[in-house]
Amino acid sequence: MQRHIDGELARLKEELVRLAGLAETAIGQSIQALVSRDAELARQVIASDDQINQLEIDVDDLCLRTMALYQPEARDLRMLAMALKIVNDLERMGDQAVNIAERTLELLKEPLLKPLIDIPRMAQLAQRMVKDSLDAFVQQDVALARRVCQQDDEVDRYDDQMFRELLTHMMQDPRAITRAVNLILVSRHIERIADHATNVAEDVIYMVEGKTIKHHASS
């Protein structure tokens, strides 16, 4: 027999997947706006953040109500507690997409510095991590969650490389300074998105295995 709480937990997962979908879309669109120099799309990303923020509040309420009504046992409780943390990370991914969109609007005030190659690649990797971390949550797939954690290093390497390249670029051509600084910040925002996905993946491992790997304690 299905327990009543299972219905609530299923709904919670659905809401988190919906929130993750919105965050993924915002990230994808912010990078799309940057690459195709589309101010309208950048503004759309900024406007869509309200929806993400509202959904975060709804998920928090759902978690708290489920905890209060069903007084869940250890495993379900752990899932609810982790959902409270995961929803934070998803909402902050949305914030990072807004930050990228804002940098894009600044970047559009000047001609393109150089063709953007590494930023879209790095963003693709980060988006993949977001998707995989949520899939890992829904399917309680620890192996997938571990892969997400490993990919974070690759995004960090991209970010370091972008930083060095753009510094060099600025030194060679001071007219490029404003654009290069804005691109450094975009790269940092993508790196933060990957960090949030890693947090989600770590929470999934904790939820499933009941032990923490946060801060690579076990690695």
| Residue 135 beta carbon to a copy of itself: minimum distance, rounded to whole angstroms | 22
Task: Name every residue whose Cβ is closer than 8 Å to that of residue 176 and which is 6 or more positions away in sequence.
Answer: 113, 169, 170
| Residue 36 beta carbon to a copy of itself: minimum distance, rounded to whole angstroms | 25
Cα–Cα distance between 101 and 182 in angstroms, integer?
11
Cα–Cα distance between 23 and 89 in angstroms, integer?
10
Q: Which is nearer to a copy of itself, 84 or 144 (CB)?
A: 84
| Residue 63 beta carbon to a copy of itself: minimum distance, rounded to whole angstroms | 7
| Residue 52 beta carbon to a copy of itself: minimum distance, rounded to whole angstroms | 9
| Residue 84 beta carbon to a copy of itself: minimum distance, rounded to whole angstroms | 5
DSSP three-state, residue 164:
helix
Half-sphere exposure of residue 150, counting CA atoms within 13 Å on the CB side?
Answer: 6
Q: Which is nearer to a copy of itself, 32 or 178 (CB)?
A: 178
Q: Which is nearer to a copy of itself, 36 or 177 (CB)?
A: 177
Q: Which is nearer to a copy of itself, 36 or 71 (CB)?
A: 71
Q: Which is nearer to a copy of itself, 124 or 163 (CB)?
A: 163
Q: Which is nearer to a copy of itself, 38 or 156 (CB)?
A: 156
The Cβ of residue 156 has, within 10 Å, a number of other Cβ atoms equal to 14
Amino acid at 216: H
**Residues in touch with a copy of itself (CB under 8 A):** 50, 53-54, 56-57, 60, 63-64, 67-68, 71, 73-74, 77-78, 81, 84-85, 88, 167, 170-171, 174, 177-178, 181, 184-185, 188, 212, 214-215, 217
Cα–Cα distance between 79 and 59 in angstroms, integer?
13
| Residue 61 beta carbon to a copy of itself: minimum distance, rounded to whole angstroms | 8
Closest listed residue to residue 179, CA positions, set 155, 162, 157: 162
Distance in angstroms between the alpha carbons of the first and the last residue of the chain = 40
